[in-house]
Amino acid sequence: MLRLRALLWIGFGGMLLLIAAIGLSAISFLYQVELRQEQIRRDFVERDRVLEKLRSEVYLSGTYVRDFLMDTDETRSRVHRQAFFETRRQILASAEDFRRLAPPAARTFFGQFQEQLRAYLDTLTPVLDWGVAEREKSGPQFVREQVLPRRMDVISLAERIEQMSQSQLESSSEQIAQLFASFRRRLVLMLALVLAIGATLAGVTLWRILDLERKSQSRFEEVLRTRRELQRLSAELISAQEAERKRIARELHDEVGQTIWAMMLGLTSLRSALEKNDPAAAERQLESIHGMAENTAALVRNISLLLRPSMLDDLGLIPALHWLVREFSRTSGLQVEFAAADLDLSLPEDHKTCIYRVVQESLRNVARHAAALHVKISMEHEPHLIRTRIQDDGRGFDPHTGKGVGILGMEERVTRLGGKLSLDSNPGQGTTIVCELPLPAELAPARGDRHQESSPLRTA
């Protein structure tokens, strides 16, 4: 569950971070494009303004020179001359401004424009020192041959520079369009990545949810099945308890009760013989009563041992199992081999009872259902557990088809103590039952102190 939560946090968090990155990237890109467009627009407007101003000033410079040459009034000529020099200064300043604003592609051509512009201005400057006579004589010709052609050349170069500036604007627009195309590709790629991550995350989450739902359903069905098994086990345990009580009651009634009744009759006969002063008859009756008392004591002892052998409490687990194996071999006629480890430890009462009942129930099942010839029982202990194995060579069965109340009872006992009961059986291959019980921490021996001694007991 923690791994699923971490996966969901990482997946959804990563997807949200990626979406946020896409959004921030888009906003940043659009802001940069907006700044770029505004810068391009301002540069173009500024270049166009300076270039238009430069063309106007060039045109005015030629006009001032023409007026200076054509005007014979000395006062007005000085005004035209002063206006030319002011315009010349503005032309040079505007040219310097445009050179600073000119795009890289137009700077080389603008250098030629500056050279021609200086040549144009240098050509006009000397005539401003002419007197009236010289202006009247050479002025019209100079205006026609020098001023107007050179001015038109300069204005033509300015128009070409304007065209180049327009081309630069179009090139910048194309660059922005390419930026938009690149951004679209990147945005589509990132969106595809987000969709892929989202689809993968959704698929993994859906699979995990369905898997958890399937496991929950399986566990719910297992709980229901276990509940039904427990109900059946409870009913069968009650039935087995009643059957055991009936058997014990029948044995007490048929065996013990009849023997006691016979002893009472014997005592009556003994009293009659004593009253008749017949010592021989009294002795016979006394011997008969004594034999019946011994049989009754043995019967009661056997019933008591079957219910819970006193030696389990007095002598311990291993002697009690030895006795159980001998009694089983004597009554069933099967050959049993019992090999026990030298368990030099005091097991808790629950552990001893559990192991004894598992062995007892296993032997009872062998006698009732297995049709076996040999049974092998072994016990061994490891640092933290004690293992009991019961193996027979009987007919076997399929454990998956169902378990009897005896096996369910054994599983219940072992599970209650935190142990594990495993059953391995196949039709025709016998049955092996392994019971593993964990030892309390204070009883677990050191790993290097383990030792086992086989104590085989064969009875037939």
pLDDT at residue 454, as a whole number: 37
Spatial contact of 376 and 362, defined as CB atoms under 8 Å apart:
no
Q: Say if 212 falls within a structural domain.
A: no
C-alpha 446: how far from its chain's center?
39
Q: Say if 440 falls within a structural domain.
A: yes
Average pLDDT over residues 184-191: 80
Q: Do 200 and 339 share a structural domain?
A: no
Helix then strand then coil, in percent of the chain rounded to 5, is 75, 10, 15
Q: What is the pLDDT of residues 23-51, one digit of tens each?
A: 787 788 777 777 877 777 777 777 778 77
Average pLDDT over residues 209-228: 86
Length reported for the chain: 460
Q: Do 199 and 320 share a structural domain?
A: no
Strand bridging mode 458-459 / 335-340:
antiparallel
What is the secondary structure of 274-335 as a DSSP string?
A: HHTT-HHHHHHHHHHHHHHHHHHHHHHHHHHHHH--HHHHHT-HHHHHHHHHHHHHHHH--E
Residue corresponding to tokens 């069968």: 236
Weakest mean pLDDT among 311-315, 328-332, 408-412 = 311-315
Q: Do 39 and 159 share a structural domain?
A: yes
Strand order of the sheet with strand 385-392? Answer: 420-425, 431-438, 385-392, 374-382, 335-340, 458-459
268: number of Cβ within 10 Å: 11
Query: What does the DSSP 8-state code read for residue 448?
Result: G
Q: Which of 180, 205, 230 is the last residue of a domain?
A: 205
Report the domain count for the chain.
Answer: 2
63 vs 150: CA distance, rounded Å: 12
Q: Do 184 and 47 share a structural domain?
A: yes
| CATH code of 11's domain | 1.20.120.1730
Q: Say if 82 falls within a structural domain.
A: yes
Long-range CB contacts (within 8 A, 24+) of 226-234: 229/408, 232/405, 233/405, 233/408, 233/409, 233/412
Enter the tokens of residue 249.
């009651």
Strand bridging mode 335-340 / 374-382:
parallel
Q: Say if 371 falls within a structural domain.
A: yes
| CATH code of 411's domain | 3.30.565.10
Strand bridging mode 420-425 / 374-382:
unpaired
Cα–Cα nearest to 57, from 85, 99, 76: 85
Q: Say whether pLDDT at 4 is over 70.
A: no
Q: What is the pLDDT of residues 120-147, one digit of tens each?
A: 778 778 877 787 778 777 777 877 777 7
Q: Say if 285 falls within a structural domain.
A: no
pLDDT at residue 460, as a whole number: 36
Spatial contact of 317 and 355, defined as CB atoms under 8 Å apart:
yes
Q: Say if 272 falls within a structural domain.
A: no
410 vs 381: CA distance, rounded Å: 20
Cα–Cα nearest to 374, from 406, 410, 337, 411: 337
151 vs 60: CA distance, rounded Å: 10
Average pLDDT over residues 400-421: 80
The top-scoring range by mean pLDDT among 166-170, 188-192, 439-443, 455-459 is 188-192
Buried b (16+ CB within 10 A) or exposed e, 329-361: beebebebbbbbbebeeebeeebbbbbbbbbbb
Weakest mean pLDDT among 130-139, 229-238, 330-339, 381-390 = 229-238
361: number of CA atoms within 13 Å, CB side?
Answer: 21
pLDDT at residue 249, as a whole number: 73
Q: Which of 205, 240, 257 is the last residue of a domain?
A: 205
147 vs 198: CA distance, rounded Å: 75
Q: Say if 257 falls within a structural domain.
A: no
Q: Do 319 and 197 share a structural domain?
A: no
The top-scoring range by mean pLDDT among 83-87, 172-176, 435-439 is 435-439
Q: Say if 218 falls within a structural domain.
A: no
Spatial contact of 180 and 34, defined as CB atoms under 8 Å apart:
no
Q: Say whether pLDDT at 197 is over 90.
A: no
Q: What is the pLDDT of residues 309-325, one digit of tens each?
A: 666 777 788 888 888 88
Cα–Cα nearest to 381, from 325, 426, 438, 337: 438
The residue segments making up the domain with residue 101 are: 2-205
Spatial contact of 66 and 143, defined as CB atoms under 8 Å apart:
yes
Q: Which of 165, 184, 205 is the last residue of a domain?
A: 205
pTM of the model: 0.45
